[in-house]
Chain A
Amino acid sequence: MSAVLVAAAVALLALCVAGVLLVPGPMNRLHYLGPAPIAVLLACAAVLVDKGASTIGLRAVLIALFSLATSSVLSHTVARALHHRREDDA
């Protein structure tokens, strides 16, 4: 079960990387960062399934919570910076 979760997390992150590399324009590329916290969640779920409520399991929960809480803030900040930069260029 944990191997399936790890494979899903890696596949999702690979799709995110492909999107960031192949899609034109930084604003469009930013959309492909959205699924990244879900991949973190899958990886942390894999750790929890394999190791249970251990020290590394607690770290995994903290990483998942932090990633979920901050990814939207960071995406918004980056999008605003790109928007301001585009206005400056115009």
Chain B
Amino acid sequence: MSAWMVGASVLVALLVPLGIAAATRTPGDGLVALQLAGTVTTVAVLLMAVGLGREPLGDLALVLAVASFVGSLAYATILGRGP
């Protein structure tokens, strides 16, 4: 297994505690965990694209970065408005 895939595997494993934190803690904590999970996922997909030799996955990483930003921004706006 190459360094790219080892790194991607570690990053995917790091998503598990972030997902648990987002699901079980307060909405504010969940939003912070969601924001970091977006970054972790983007890097993981980029490393997979190189490790697997499939360059189209690089496009997916770029789209994921944009979608993660827009999604987190939307959640933050909704959270700021209150219940």
The reply to whether B80 and A44 form a contact with Cβ atoms under 8 Å apart is no
> What is the size, in residues, of chain A's interface with B at 8 Å between Cβ atoms?
48
Nearest CB on B from A29, distance (A): 5
Given B39, B50, B72, which contacts A13 in the complex, CB threshold below 8 Å? B39
Interface string of A40-54 (1 = CB under 8 A from B): 100110010011001
**Which DSSP category, helix, strand, loop or mixed, fits chain B's interface?**
helix
* Residues on A with beta carbons closer than 8 Å to the beta carbon of B18: 17, 20-21
**Which DSSP category, helix, strand, loop or mixed, fits chain A's interface?**
helix
**Mind listing 11 A-B residue pairs with CB under 8 Å?**
A14-B14, A17-B18, A33-B39, A56-B55, A59-B59, A63-B62, A66-B66, A74-B73, A74-B76, A80-B80, A82-B79
